[in-house]
């Protein structure tokens, strides 16, 4: 009996301690907020000289990690100060907790998808093309009425005549669905009408090497045909040497594009090993060029180098998540995730080295310096870089007939900033940048559809938007 009472007392004390800890935490957060943030974001968090923090809108990233970095390192060019030297990390977390609790109290919700977007040239009608998808990664069109969409956990979905089919394609390759990996890109052969090939890029895992360890994985490419909703005739067209596979689960790259000369380009991120990007005996941190059947062009820049991975086309690419071929020049353009503050747009050319991690405009995510260098002879400069990083993802030139004024302009998606930018490029210089989509969700892919509409894949909330010019 005595011990029961004792146990009860201990429990009571523990509960009391936890509750009062949580309470002081929130109180601390509130006090710290009032001291440091209220003068700009408002005493009630509703905004003032700076935006509201409880309206459900996060312009610079909604997830905790982004919030934390935005507070710790600031957004210098917009007047959001850095609190790195003022607040401890634990204090920043207390403020964040206070912000989240305040959000809950007022019932802040992300505003619904905007029905009409305004841009300099057009008012745009926005409709939901597909929804209820689980982490969609890419979209491509087989014909005017049929789209294929990848879901990262490992499903290939079909939208037919505007309707998402309930049954995914059967028998597609197994993928390792972990971290940033899974089923990533899908690309339709430019001659699909005659040959029927569909290409997939995904994270492939060596499951025979386990020994209690996480099995190593790498980007792999496969092509196949779709018959009766089933993946058939599959051919592996790129597989890296197994000794180069890595146990990390991020930076897989993966975009696939075709140029008019019949080459297939794809990217592999550095898989978390920055220095590998400089080493042509390793596949990661590179752009690769192969023929569509997987054979390797002898004209590849490192083809005759001893020990080189012969498919390598360019080096020093951290994690390319967007690739597109210019419709007139045939040039290969790519967007690459930099570290904090170093997202890049590059014009990729044979044999060139884009510098990661020797040169970069970014910092480590903990704020420390990666390298003092932004330039070095022999290493390419980006055409453009974004500081802070928007988390560039998805890239396409607009080639449709609906938005006539946007012919050949470059559409750049962004995950963290939840936007699509339209870039006007002349003579390899970006002359103008406009945000045409903002705050609708994390943009994974953006593409011109066969109907001339712009399709925007939002990995969260799992929606594909279709944009068309509003009839005035
Ligand atoms: C001197 C004014 C100022 C102070 C003080 C300030 N901020 Fe900011 N904050 C800004 C501005 C300006 C922006 C960017 C606004 C814009 O351009 O949309 C911003 C942006 C932010 C964002 C990103 C919002 C989004 O939509 O993604 C967060 C989060 C934030 N502030 C939190 C804080 C916190 C927490 C504090 C206190 C520790 C703080 N700020 C103090 C001015 C301030």
Instruction: Please tell me the distance from the alpha carbon of residue 225 to that of residue 172, in angstroms, as a whole number.
Output: 10
Q: What is the mean pLDDT of the chain?
A: 93
155 lines ligand 1 (CB under 6 A): no
Instruction: Identify which of 30, 34, 38, 41 to mutate to test ligand 1's pocket (most ligand atoms within 8 A of the CB).
Output: 41
- Please check the confidence at residue 18 and state whether its pLDDT lies above 80: no
* pLDDT value for 456: 98
Section 428-433 average pLDDT: 95
* pLDDT value for 196: 98
* pLDDT value for 460: 83
The string of pLDDT tens digits covering residues 262-284 is: 999 999 999 999 999 999 999 99
Catalytically active residues, by annotation: 251
* pLDDT value for 77: 81
Distance 35 CA to ligand 1 centre (A): 14
Closest atom, ligand 1, to C-alpha of 95: 35
* pLDDT value for 308: 98
Q: Are 413 and 443 in contact (CB under 8 A)?
A: yes
78 lines ligand 1 (CB under 6 A): yes
51 lines ligand 1 (CB under 6 A): yes
Q: Which CATH architecture has domain 2-106?
A: Orthogonal Bundle (1.10)
Instruction: Identify which of 31, 46, 80, 92 to mutate to test ligand 1's pocket (most ligand atoms within 8 A of the CB).
Output: 80
* pLDDT value for 3: 61
Best CATH choice for the domain 116-469 from the list 2.40.160.60, 2.120.10.30, 2.40.50.140, 2.40.50.90? 2.120.10.30
83 lines ligand 1 (CB under 6 A): yes
Percent of the chain at pLDDT exceeding 70: 94
- Please check the confidence at residue 246 and state whether its pLDDT lies above 70: yes
What DSSP line would sit under 247-301, residue for residue?
S--------EEE-TTSEEEEEE--TT-GGGGG-TTS-SSEEEEEETTS---TTST
Instruction: Please tell me the distance from the alpha carbon of residue 395 to that of residue 346, in angstroms, as a whole number.
Output: 12
Residue whose Cα lies nearest atom 19 of ligand 1: it is 80
The string of pLDDT tens digits covering residues 64-103 is: 999 999 999 998 888 899 999 999 999 999 999 999 999 9
* pLDDT value for 218: 96
Instruction: Identify which of 33, 46, 50 to mutate to test ligand 1's pocket (most ligand atoms within 8 A of the CB).
Output: 50
Residue whose Cα lies nearest atom 3 of ligand 1: it is 40
Domain definitions of the chain by residue range = 2-106, 116-469
Question: Is the link from the previous residue into 388 a cis peptide, with omega within 30 of 0?
Answer: yes
The string of pLDDT tens digits covering residues 378-423 is: 999 999 999 889 999 999 999 999 999 999 999 999 999 999 999 9
Distance 411 CA to ligand 1 centre (A): 28
Buried residues in 452-462 as b, exposed as e (16+ CB within 10 A): ebbbbbbbbeb
The string of pLDDT tens digits covering residues 310-338 is: 999 999 999 999 999 999 999 999 999 99
* pLDDT value for 402: 98
Model pTM? 0.87
* pLDDT value for 266: 98
73 lines ligand 1 (CB under 6 A): no
Instruction: Identify which of 40, 62, 76 to mutate to test ligand 1's pocket (most ligand atoms within 8 A of the CB).
Output: 40
102 lines ligand 1 (CB under 6 A): no
- Please check the confidence at residue 143 and state whether its pLDDT lies above 60: yes
Give the chain's end-to-end CA distance (angstroms, integer). Answer: 81
* pLDDT value for 1: 52
Distance 367 CA to ligand 1 centre (A): 18
70 lines ligand 1 (CB under 6 A): yes
H helix runs in 37-165, sequence order:
38-41, 64-73, 89-106
Residue whose Cα lies nearest atom 29 of ligand 1: it is 67
Question: Sheet harboring 198-205: ordered strands across?
Answer: 183-188, 198-205, 217-227, 230-239
* pLDDT value for 213: 77
Section 24-38 average pLDDT: 87
Question: Sheet harboring 163-164: ordered strands across?
Answer: 136-143, 146-151, 155-160, 163-164
Structure tokens of 198?
């569909």
The string of pLDDT tens digits covering residues 185-220 is: 999 999 999 999 999 999 999 976 666 778 999 999
The string of pLDDT tens digits covering residues 159-177 is: 999 999 999 999 999 999 9
* pLDDT value for 341: 85
Residue whose Cα lies nearest atom 7 of ligand 1: it is 80
Residue whose Cα lies nearest atom 6 of ligand 1: it is 37
Q: Cα dist. 26→16, 100, 105, 351, 428 in Å?
A: 15, 10, 13, 55, 51
């Amino acid at each position: 009996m005595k011990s029961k009472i004792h146990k009860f007392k201990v429990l009571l004390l523990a509960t009391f301690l936890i509750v009062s800890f949580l309470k002081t935490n929130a109180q601390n957060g509130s006090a710290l907020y009032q001291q440091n943030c209220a003068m700009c974001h408002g005493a009630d968090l509703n905004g003032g000289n700076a935006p509201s923090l409880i309206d459900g809108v996060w312009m610079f990233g909604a997830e905790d990690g982004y919030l934390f970095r935005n507070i710790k390192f600031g957004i210098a060019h917009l007047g959001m100060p850095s609190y790195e030297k003022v607040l401890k990390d634990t204090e920043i977390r207390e403020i964040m907790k206070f912000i989240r609790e305040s959000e809950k109290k007022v019932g802040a919700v992300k505003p619904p998808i905007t029905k009409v977007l305004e841009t300099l040239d057009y008012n745009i009608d926005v409709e939901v093309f597909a929804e209820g998808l689980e982490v969609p990664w890419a979209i491509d069109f087989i014909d005017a009425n049929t789209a294929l969409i990848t879901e990262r956990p490992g499903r290939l979905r079909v939208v037919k005549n505007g309707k998402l089919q309930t049954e995914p394609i059967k028998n597609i390759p197994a993928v390792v669905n972990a971290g940033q990996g899974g089923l990533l890109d899908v690309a339709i052969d430019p001659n699909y009408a005659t040959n029927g090939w569909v290409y997939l890029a995904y994270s492939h895992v060596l499951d025979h090497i386990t020994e209690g360890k996480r099995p190593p994985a790498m980007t792999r490419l496969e092509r196949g045909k779709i018959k009766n909703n089933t993946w058939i005739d599959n051919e592996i067209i790129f597989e890296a040497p197994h000794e180069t596979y890595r146990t990390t689960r991020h930076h897989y790259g993966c975009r696939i594009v075709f140029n008019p000369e019949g080459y297939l380009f794809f990217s592999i991120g550095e898989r978390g090993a920055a220095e590998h990007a400089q080493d042509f005996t390793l596949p990661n941190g590179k752009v690769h060029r192969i023929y569509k059947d997987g054979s390797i062009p002898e004209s590849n820049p490192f083809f005759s180098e001893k020990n080189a991975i012969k498919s390598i086309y360019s080096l020093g690419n951290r994690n390319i998540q967007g690739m597109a071929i210019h419709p007139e020049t045939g040039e290969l353009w790519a967007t690459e995730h930099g570290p904090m503050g170093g997202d890049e747009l590059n014009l990729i050319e044979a044999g060139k080295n884009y510098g990661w991690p020797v040169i970069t405009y970014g910092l480590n995510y903990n704020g420390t310096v990666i390298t003092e260098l932004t330039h070095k002879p022999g290493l390419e400069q980006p055409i453009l870089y974004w500081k802070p990083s928007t988390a560039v993802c998805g890239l396409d030139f607009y080639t449709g007939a609906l938005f006539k004024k946007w012919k050949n302009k470059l559409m750049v998606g962004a995950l963290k900033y939840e936007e699509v930018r339209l870039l006007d490029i002349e003579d390899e210089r970006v002359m103008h940048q406009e945000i045409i989509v903002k705050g609708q969700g994390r943009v994974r892919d953006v593409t011109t559809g066969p109907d001339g509409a712009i399709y925007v894949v939002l990995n969260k909330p799992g929606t594909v938007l279709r944009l068309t010019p509003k009839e005035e």
